[in-house]
Amino acid sequence: MRRINGRSVLVTGAASGLAAGIAAGLAEDGFARVAITWRESSPEQTLARIRTAGARASATQIDFLAESSAIESALAECVSEHGPFDTLVHAVGPMSFARLERADDAAYRAMFDGNVRSAWLAARAVLPGMRAAAFGRILAFGMNGSAFAASAPGLGLHAASKSALISLLRTLAAEVAGSGITVNAIEPGDIREKALTRDETRTVSAANHDDACGLARSDRRIDLGLRRRSSLPRVVYLPVTGGLQGPYERKNT
C-alpha cells in the first residue's frame, strides 16, 4: 500500500480496545509510522496488526497515572526515538463507576489525571514537532454529552473529567489556530465491548445495552479529523454514539 507522505501517528493506550483498532486502522489507511503507548496489557497483538498493514510499529510503556515527571520523560523518549509525530490520537482515559457521594480521592485523582492531565502532557510532547512542520492533527475522546457538561449519574467523576478535557481541547485549538494544527474530539457511545476486530465492527452490531455502541462508527470515521486536507475545522466534536442520547446508566453504584 502507498504510504501517506511519511505520515506518523502516536496513539496512546493502544494495547487493546478502541485505540488498538484505531492504530491498526491508520496503518491500513496508509500511515507510514504508527507508535503506540501501553501500560499493562501486552502491545504485541496491536504491533503485529500494524506491521501486517505495512507500517513501521513501535511501542513505549507509559503509565499516565504516574507522576508528571515520569510521564514527561517517557513521552520525550518516545518522541525522540520514534517521532516526530504529525498526528496524535489520545485514547488514554480510565473510568470510575460510582455515585459522587461514594467516590473517593483515589478515584478523583485517577479521573482527572488519567483523562485531563494525560491529554495535556501528550499534546505538549508532540506540539514542538507539529509546529516545526507547520502541520498537525490532535484527536482525543470525550464521552456522550461532555461537550455540554451533561449530567451522568453513577459516572460523575468520569463525566466531569471528560467535560474538563473538552474545555482543554477548545483552549488548545484556539492557541494553535493558524499554525496548521487542528484539535478535534470524538464523543463515542458505549464502547465497553472491545473484542471485535475492525472488520467485524463494520458488519456486526455490538452486544451492548440498547445496541448503542459507537465503536464501529468511531473506528471507521476516525480519519475524518486526521487527513491533511480534512474538511473539519477546529474544533469539531463528532458524536459517534449509535443513537445513544445520554450517558448510559450505571445501576447499583
The pLDDT profile of the chain, 253 residues, written as one tens digit per residue, is: 455 568 999 999 999 888 999 999 999 989 999 999 999 889 999 999 999 999 999 999 999 999 999 999 999 999 999 999 999 999 998 887 888 899 999 999 999 999 999 999 999 999 999 999 999 999 999 887 766 767 777 788 999 999 999 999 999 999 999 999 999 988 775 554 444 454 554 444 444 433 334 444 444 444 555 666 554 445 555 444 444 445 554 444 4
3-state secondary structure (DSSP) of residue 65: coil
Which three cell numbers, joined as nine digits, stand for 238? 463528532
CB 219 within 8 A of CB 18: yes
Contacts of 118 (CB under 8 A, 6+ apart): 12, 64, 71, 90, 92, 93
Contacts of 233 (CB under 8 A, 6+ apart): 182
Query: What are residue 222's DSSP bridge partners?
Result: none
Question: For the chain, which domains are there?
Answer: 8-240 (3.40.50.720)
- Taking the C-alpha atoms of residue 190 and residue 167, their distance in angstroms, rounded to an integer, is 22
- Taking the C-alpha atoms of residue 34 and residue 78, their distance in angstroms, rounded to an integer, is 12
Which three cell numbers, joined as nine digits, stand for 201? 465492527
Q: Which amino acid is at 40?
A: E
Question: Would the pTM count as exceeding 0.85?
Answer: no
How many Cβ atoms from other residues are within 10 Å of residue 224's Cβ? 16
Report the side by side order of strands in the sheet with 136-141.
Answer: 56-61, 33-38, 8-12, 87-90, 136-141, 181-188, 237-240
Given this model, what pLDDT does residue 186 score? Answer: 87
